[in-house]
Amino acid sequence: MTHSLSIYLLVAAILFGLGVYAIMTRRNAIAILMGVELVLNAANLNFVAFARFGGMNSSGHVFALFVIVLAAAEAAVALAIIINLYHNLHTINVEEASTLKQ
């Protein structure tokens, strides 16, 4: 069971779907951010799984590493934006942050 590629892909698919669901439905910006993290982790899981079974070797790992770096940067900037938003609008409900609309 630990040597089956499909099980990892299944887990990754579930995580991806849940992440997308969070992004689609949550109205809290931080919750959306968490959804994004789930999606990224799903992708990472795929990378590492293919590295293990598909003979990608270290390249898969390096890619996963880059994704983690990206996620870290993204989280930092996103949170900075969210905190800024909170300071200005006193809400982090994305549906109320519509100043730029129109």
Distance from C-alpha of 57 to C-alpha of 50, rounded to nearest angstrom: 8
Residue 39 C-beta: closest distance to another protein, Å: 11
Q: Is 44 in the site for another protein (CB under 8 A)?
A: yes
Residue 7 C-beta: closest distance to another protein, Å: 7
Q: Which long-range contacts (CB under 8 A, 24 or more apart) does 69-75 make?
A: 70/40, 71/37, 71/40, 74/36, 75/33, 75/37
Distance from C-alpha of 63 to C-alpha of 44, rounded to nearest angstrom: 8
Q: Is 33 in the site for another protein (CB under 8 A)?
A: yes
Interactions with another protein, residue window 61-100 (CB under 8 A): 61-62, 64-66, 68-77, 79-84, 86-87, 90-95, 98
Residue 81 C-beta: closest distance to another protein, Å: 6
Q: Is 57 in the site for another protein (CB under 8 A)?
A: yes
